Amino acid sequence: MIELNQVSRSFTVGDQQVAALRGIDLSIAAGDYVSIMGPSGSGKSTLLNLIGLLDRPSSGTYKLDGGNVTALDDVQQARVRSEKIGFVFQSFHLVPRLTAAMNIELPMILAGVDPAERKERVAKLVENYGLKDRADHRPDQLSGGQRQRVAIARATSMNPAVLLADEPTGNLDQTTGKEVMALLEQLVERKVALVLVTHDPVLGGRAHRQIHMVDGEIVSENKATGVS
Amino acid sequence: MLFPDLVKLTSSSFLSSRMRSFLTGLGIAIGIAAVILLTSIGEGLHQFMLAEFSQFGTNIISVQPGKTQVQGGNVGIFGSVRQVTLEDADALRRLPYVEYVIPGIAGNAEVRYEGRTRRTMVLGEGRDFSKAFTMKVQSGSFWTDADNEQARAQAVIGSKIQQELYAGENPLGSYLRIGGQRYRVVGVMESKGQILGMDMDDTVFIPAARAMELFNRPGLMEVNVSYRADVPADTVIGIIKERMIERHGREDFTIISQEQALEVLSSVLNILTFAVGALGGISLLVGAVGILTIMTMAVTERTSEIGLLRALGSQRRQVMILFLGEAMLLSALGGFAGLALGVGISQGLHLLFPALPVHTPWLYAVLAELTAISIGLAAGVAPAMRAARLDPVEALHAE
């Protein structure tokens, strides 16, 4: 489903070209659970941003569902992001002045989904993620785990094919971190491709495919069989 | 994105920082209130002036002897001016569309009744005076004699004359000495008050032919012609001019129509209203700077939120519309508050000082509101464009 072919990304820092990604070849299928690990500066976040269409490769091609998405313009890329990609961030990134329910609804609002259908979907997500009595609370009235659950509910509200998680447990204690991971891993069973960026080897070790990056290159890929 | 959602999202950010939104909106509100207040006073003044000038009626054309013009050379014998006479007035009376013709002449004379004297304005007029001009006779009536030398010595007096010379006594039928001649009082005018500094109540009206004799003048000072309201002034002016040239052989008279005079006055007053409105507009500009400031701050504060919106699939255009919507909401609400404030203050002023003419022109109110919204739009464009142009990756990592 995701196919990266010789993808490179370099940034201009001052008058120097710094390569963040060098010749990445990677393919991810529906229902894949991939973790990307590596030290900071290894390019794992850049790779995630590229897959999430927030960034464009300097060279190489990126095909999503068979279509070359690198060739799309901003408006088309935004539509692909809206329909196929979900994001979960380390710092949750909830809109502080909107209620939990409104935060979950936000991607559907932006996509112009019919209000009646939105309401139905939000109700279901709130139920599924155990936020029923917190739906009308603002983010600052929620615990870290609840906030990340809202963020996951939001990321899945448009039924994306790919879910990109950047250190989703980085701001959580261990117990809540595990709960959050369990929720994300449930999605894999529903054939969502989950891409997890982390520098925690324990967390990364839970993925079926473990990719290690150093200096913008994939140095190894391990395939594990057991998921907790 | 659907429109109700746009409203919901923009108003959520508006409501989340109430104090700030209030203060920013206040800037616009003060500007709009200033525009409304100043134009209300300007428009009130406008209407007051027009009413003052048109209270005698508007469909009146005045013919005066002499031609206002500048020309070189000696005009010789042709330069002399023929008087406008009672015969001219009679001739005009027979023209189409003409309703009343009132020959007019004014002067000063001593008025005396039973030992009390008063120097006052004496107006020589025609018998149809109170019909042509909107001035009512309180008791009695105008004389009915034709406007010629046969007119008997009859007078209509102003309310102040009655008060001063008669001390409340009924003057009808009494004899009043005007410049040494005896006049029989046939009517008393209703009080009209001062008009542009002229006390219309301190006046005595006598037949024009009598006044010419009294002041020893060979002609009239003017002839006022009232015409049917459904006929344009220019048509009547043309007809009068033609007849007068026919009688005088050339154009040695001046025709002034009330309608034209009012038009000129009105356009001058319109400029005045516009000018004070523009003055108020300066404070609107200050309000616009306030919106620009607050929106620039909002973009900076919410950079990571903008990144999030982009990650959730919103286009640059949507981000821009959200910020523009916020700026417009601020200015529109401020504008409405200003509208209420401006109308409230001007009506309050009117209650406190009834003499101060105040009138809120609704066109200006609507224009002010539209201006407020466009100001919000204009002030919001730069920050909104900046928000839309942000790189999503960088924006997401901004704290």
Radius of gyration of chain A (CA): 18
Q: Which residues contact B295 (CB under 8 A, 6 or more apart)?
A: B323, B326, B327, B379, B380, B383, B384
pLDDT classification of B186: cutoffs 50, 70, 90: very high
With H, G, I as helix, E, B as strand and everything else as coil, classify residue B197: coil
DSSP one-letter string for B28-65: HHHHHHHHHHHHHHHHHHHHHHHHHHHTT-SSEEEEEE
pLDDT, one tens digit per residue, over B89-119 is 999 999 999 999 999 999 999 999 988 999 9
Query: How far is residue B171's CA from residue A80's CA, in Å, rounded to a whole number?
Result: 98
Q: Which of A93, A102, A162 to mutate to test the interface with B (most CBs of B within 10 A)?
A: A93
Domain A2-223: give its CATH code.
3.40.50.300
Positive or negative CA dihedral for B194, B197, B199, B204?
negative
Of B304, B313, B315, the CB nearest to A93: B304
pLDDT confidence of residue A228: 44
Query: How far is residue B140's CA from residue B171's CA, in Å, rounded to a whole number?
Result: 10
pLDDT confidence of residue B305: 93
Structural domain spans, chain A: 2-223
Placement of tokens 């004699």 in the chain: B145
pLDDT classification of B200: cutoffs 50, 70, 90: confident
pLDDT, one tens digit per residue, over A215-226 is 999 999 988 755
Nearest CA distance, A224 vs chain B (angstrom): 30
Contact residues, chain A, for B315 at CB < 8 Å:
74-75, 78-79
Across the interface, do B2 and A109 touch by the CB < 8 Å criterion?
A: yes
Placement of tokens 């959602």 in the chain: B5
Nearest CA distance, A225 vs chain B (angstrom): 32
Of B5, B304, B311, the CB nearest to A81: B311
Of B12, B314, B316, the CB nearest to A110: B314
A21: which 2 tokens? Answer: 């990604």
Closest by Cα among A106, A215, A81 to A157: A106
pLDDT, mean of residues B349-373: 83
Closest by Cα among A24, A86, A32, A99 to A61: A24
pLDDT, one tens digit per residue, over A181-226 is 999 999 999 999 999 999 888 899 999 999 999 999 999 998 875 5
Of B13, B16, B309, the CB nearest to A110: B309
Tally Cβ neighbours within 10 Å of residue B230: 7
With H, G, I as helix, E, B as strand and everything else as coil, classify residue A113: coil
| Cβ-contact B98, B120 below 8 angstroms | no
The interface residues of chain A toward chain B in range 97-116, judged by CB-CB distance below 8 A, are 97-98, 102, 106-107, 109-112, 115
Structural domain spans, chain B: 3-52+264-397, 98-231
Backbone dihedral angles phi then psi of residue B185, each to the nearest 5 degrees:
-80, 120
Whether pTM exceeds 0.95:
no
- Which residue positions in chain A have pLDDT lower than 50? 227-228
pLDDT confidence of residue B199: 84
Closest by Cα among B2, B12, B19, B14 to B331: B14
Backbone dihedral angles phi then psi of residue B257, each to the nearest 5 degrees:
-100, 140
Of A96, A102, A111, the CB nearest to B313: A111
Q: Which of A92, A109, A113 to mutate to test the interface with B (most CBs of B within 10 A)?
A: A109
Contact residues, chain A, for B317 at CB < 8 Å:
75
Q: Which residues contact B73 (CB under 8 A, 6 or more apart)?
A: none
pLDDT classification of B236: cutoffs 50, 70, 90: very high
Contact residues, chain A, for B2 at CB < 8 Å:
109, 112, 115
- Mean of pLDDT over chain B: 88
Across the interface, do A89 and B309 touch by the CB < 8 Å criterion?
A: no
Of B2, B13, B393, the CB nearest to A54: B393
- In single-letter form, the type of residue at position A130 comes to G
Q: Is the pLDDT of residue B68 over 80?
A: no
Q: Which of B11, B305, B312 to mutate to test the interface with A (most CBs of A within 10 A)?
A: B312
Across the interface, do A95 and B311 touch by the CB < 8 Å criterion?
A: no
Across the interface, do A75 and B9 touch by the CB < 8 Å criterion?
A: no
Radius of gyration of chain B (CA): 33
| Cβ-contact B138, B200 below 8 angstroms | no
pLDDT confidence of residue B316: 93
B223: which 2 tokens? Answer: 């002839």
Query: How far is residue B280's CA from residue B370's CA, in Å, rounded to a whole number?
Result: 15
Query: How far is residue B205's CA from residue B147's CA, in Å, rounded to a whole number?
Result: 13
pLDDT, mean of residues B375-387: 93
Question: Chain B within 8 Å of A78 (Cβ-Cβ)?
Answer: yes
pLDDT, one tens digit per residue, over B166-182 is 987 899 999 999 998 99
With H, G, I as helix, E, B as strand and everything else as coil, classify residue A156: helix
Contact residues, chain A, for B1 at CB < 8 Å:
109-112
Measured in whole angstroms, the distance separating CA A142 from the mean position of its chain's CA atoms is 22
Give the length of chain B: 399
Placement of tokens 């005079």 in the chain: B261
Q: Is the pLDDT of residue B78 over 60?
A: no
Q: Is the pLDDT of residue B354 over 70?
A: yes
Residue A48's closest chain B neighbor by CA?
B393
The interface residues of chain A toward chain B in range 151-170, judged by CB-CB distance below 8 A, are 154, 158
Query: How far is residue B14's CA from residue B20's CA, in Å, rounded to a whole number?
Result: 9
Q: What is the 3-state secondary structure (H, E, C) of B219-282?
A: CECEEEEEECCCCCHHHHHHHHHHHHHHHHCCCCEEEEEHHHHHHHHHHHHHHHHHHHHHHHHH
Contact residues, chain B, for A97 at CB < 8 Å:
12-13, 15-16
| Cβ-contact B268, B299 below 8 angstroms | no
Q: Where are the beta strands (DSSP E) in chain B?
A: 60-65, 98-113, 116-125, 137-140, 154-157, 175-178, 181-189, 194-195, 198-199, 203-207, 222-227, 253-257
